[in-house]
Structure 1
Amino acid sequence: MWKQDTLELRPRKRGFHLITSEVIDFLPELRKLKVGLLHLQLLHTSASLTLNENADPDVRHDMEAFINDRIPGNLPYFRHTLEGDDDMPAHIKASFLGTELTLAVRNGGLATGTWQGIWLGEHRDHGGSRRLMLTLNGE
């Protein structure tokens, strides 16, 4: 079985957001698979995807604080500034963290660790809605 569709994620504030349940709810076919793969591709260059802690929201806060400390905005040598001071740092963060995930599917669900969840990293102050292409295959 193959399925590919695009999930439109609602706009979110800057930071890291747990989106696992949105992805699972969007794919009822996932529950029918014994084995497979789910590939997620974020169709943007100023946001990211990562797999990390799904229980304690302090982890998402701390990740945002850390990445903003390492990749601050409004650096004097940035040339790409027409879309705002937060745009070039957002591109760098997206490149460092990535915009794709491939997850194993097992017995009708995602084969993730106990404390793992899918995060959307919104790296713009006003990034707007985000599109996530989902490709599911398996049997």
Structure 2
Amino acid sequence: MRQELHSLQVATHGRGLVSIDRPVLGWVRQSGIGTGLLTLWCRHTSASLAVQENADPTVREDIERYFETLVPEENGRYIHDDEGPDDMPAHLRAMLTNTQLSIPVADGRPVLGTWQGLYLFEHRRRPHRREIVLHLIGA
């Protein structure tokens, strides 16, 4: 049994879903572990992780619109606004989604469905550099 640990830096361009398939799949392949469990951990309270549709970009647009409706930015609605009006909505969106994912690995690849992709879900309006910690255990 082996373990590997890696920190992935992801640049965002503001609110939305950013594909992280390429660096994650590349790192898993490079690890040499064929069978195991991959854990992804987002080290932020205003961003999250998602496994989502990777073929039709309108799915991601609809998800973003849905979260705008579910957790709106409204002046005076929230007490916490230290970093601006998108601050508390970003925390709530992260709380409603996932900051950690666990994905089985087989044949040196995360076991994802045909139309599934891995995404960092940025909940803030301005660009950020986000860190995702990858942990892989297996043989």
* Cα offset, 1:77, TM superposition: 3.3
Residue 43 in structure 1 maps to residue 43 in structure 2: yes
* Residues 83, 48 of structure 1: alpha-carbon distance in 2 compared, 3 angstrom cutoff: same
2:29 and 2:108 in contact (8 A); partners too: no
1:33 and 1:138 in contact (8 A); partners too: yes
1:12 and 1:129 in contact (8 A); partners too: no
Q: Give the gaps of 5 or more residues in structure 1.
A: none
Moved >4 Å (runs of 4+): none
* Cα offset, 1:75, TM superposition: 4.9
Counterpart in 2 of 1:56?
Answer: 56
Residue 74 in structure 1 maps to residue 74 in structure 2: yes
Hey, what's the Cα distance between the residues in 2 that align with 1:6 and 1:49? 15
Counterpart in 1 of 2:124?
Answer: 124
1:40-72: CA deviation from partner (whole Å, max 9, x where unpaired): 000000001011101111111010001111110
Pairwise CA RMSD? 1.3
The TM-score with structure 1 as length reference comes to 0.93
Counterpart in 2 of 1:8?
Answer: 9
% identical equivalent positions: 38
Q: Give the gaps of 5 or more residues in structure 2.
A: none
Paired amino acid for 2:74 = N
Counterpart in 2 of 1:25?
Answer: 26
* 3-state SS in 1 of match to 2:63: helix
Aligned residues: 138
Larger mean Cα displacement after TM superposition, 18-27 or 77-86: 18-27
* 3-state SS in 1 of match to 2:23: helix
Larger mean Cα displacement after TM superposition, 109-118 or 9-18: 9-18
Hey, what's the Cα distance between the residues in 2 that align with 1:121 and 1:77? 23
Hey, what's the Cα distance between the residues in 1 that align with 2:20 and 2:66? 21
